C-alpha cells in the first residue's frame, strides 16, 4: 500500500533516508569468541536484534522526521527492512500489494552511457511503487538527468555493505563502506559492521513507461480499497 510521504521544505524525503535526529550512537564493539571462531560483536549485544542474516548490523535510532534529512546517508535498519520485506524506498509501504504479477520495480539513475538493468545485477537500492517512482523522477535532481527501470521477478541476497574492522585493534581497515559477499568471504563477514543489504536482480523486464505502470497500480489499489 502506498503510504503518505514525508516532505521537508517542500521536497519529498525517501523512507530510507536518515535524519539528523537519527545519528548513530557509539558502537561499543568487542571481540566475541565462539566455539570455533571469533568475530565482531557489541558489548551489550542482543543477538535477536543486532544480528540479522548472520551478520552484525550497525545500530541507528529510528525517529524519522526529527531534525533535517541527511540526503547522503541511508538508514541501515530501514534499508534492510525495505529489502527483506519488499517495501517502497520512498513511502515505506508494501510494494507487492499494488502488483498483480508480484514483480518488483527497481529504478536507478542513468548517465549517458548507463546500460539497461541486467540479469544478475547487484544493488542496495530497494524497490518502489510505480507511483512513487513517478514522483522520484520528477523531484530528484539525479534522476532528472536520466533513469533506467525494470520489473524484477525475484531477488537473491548477495551480501552486505559495511565497515570491515581489524580483528586485533577493532579499528576500521578502510575509510569506506566495503562490499562483502556471503559465503565466498566468511572470514571477512565476521568482522563487518553491516550498513546495507545487497541483492542481485533476476528475470528482468525493462520499463520505459512509468506513467502506464503507475496508472495500472493506482487502479488496482482503488479496487482493493473499494467497499464490498
Give pLDDT tens digits for 53-71. Answer: 889 999 998 888 889 999 9
Say if 77 falls within a structural domain.
Answer: yes
pLDDT in tens, 121-164: 999 999 999 999 999 999 988 898 899 999 999 999 999 999 99
Q: Which residues of 189-201 are buried (b: 16+ CB within 10 A; e: fewer)?
A: bbbbbbbbbbbbb
Q: Report the pLDDT value the prediction gives residue 175, as an integer from 0 to 100.
A: 77
Q: Does residue 220 have a pLDDT over 70?
A: yes
**Integer CA distances (angstroms), 126 to 53, 78, 113, 137, in order:** 17, 10, 22, 15
pTM of the model: 0.90
Q: Report the pLDDT value the prediction gives residue 108, as an integer from 0 to 100.
A: 94
Say if 78 falls within a structural domain.
Answer: yes
Q: What is the 3-state secondary structure (H, E, C) of 122-156?
A: EECCCCECHHHHHHHHHHCHHHHCCEEEEEEEEEE
Say if 103 falls within a structural domain.
Answer: yes
* Count of structural domains, the chain: 1
Say if 1 falls within a structural domain.
Answer: no
Say if 219 falls within a structural domain.
Answer: yes
Q: Could you tell me the residue range of the domain that residue 130 belongs to?
A: 6-225
pLDDT in tens, 201-219: 999 999 999 999 988 887 7
Amino acid at each position: 500500500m502506498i503510504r503518505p510521504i514525508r516532505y521537508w521544505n517542500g521536497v519529498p524525503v525517501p523512507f530510507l533516508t536518515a535524519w539528523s535526529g537519527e545519528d548513530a550512537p557509539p558502537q561499543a564493539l568487542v571481540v566475541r569468541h565462539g566455539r570455533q571462531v571469533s568475530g565482531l560483536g557489541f558489548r551489550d549485544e542482543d543477538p535477536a536484534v543486532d544480528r540479522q542474516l548472520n551478520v552484525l548490523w550497525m545500530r541507528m535510532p529510528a525517529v524519522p522526521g526529527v531534525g533535517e534529512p541527511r540526503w547522503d546517508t541511508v538508514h541501515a535498519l530501514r534499508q534492510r527492512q525495505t529489502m527483506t520485506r519488499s517495501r517502497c524506498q520512498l513511502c515505506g509501504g508494501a510494494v507487492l500489494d499494488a502488483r498483480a504479477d508480484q514483480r518488483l520495480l527497481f529504478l536507478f539513475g542513468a548517465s549517458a552511457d548507463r546500460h539497461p538493468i541486467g540479469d544478475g545485477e547487484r544493488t542496495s537500492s530497494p524497490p518502489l511503487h510505480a507511483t512513487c517512482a513517478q514522483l522520484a523522477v520528477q523531484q530528484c535532481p539525479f534522476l532528472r538527468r536520466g533513469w533506467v527501470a525494470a520489473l524484477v521477478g525475484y531477488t537473491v541476497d548477495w551480501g552486505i555493505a559495511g565497515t570491515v574492522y581489524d580483528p586485533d585493534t577493532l579499528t576500521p581497515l578502510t575509510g569506506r563502506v566495503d562490499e562483502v559477499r556471503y559465503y565466498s568471504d566468511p572470514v571477512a563477514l565476521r568482522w563487518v559492521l553491516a550498513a546495507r543489504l545487497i541483492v542481485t536482480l533476476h528475470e528482468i523486464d525493462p520499463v520505459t513507461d512509468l506513467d502506464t505502470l503507475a496508472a495500472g497500480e493506482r487502479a488496482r489499489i482503488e479496487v482493493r480499497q473499494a467497499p464490498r
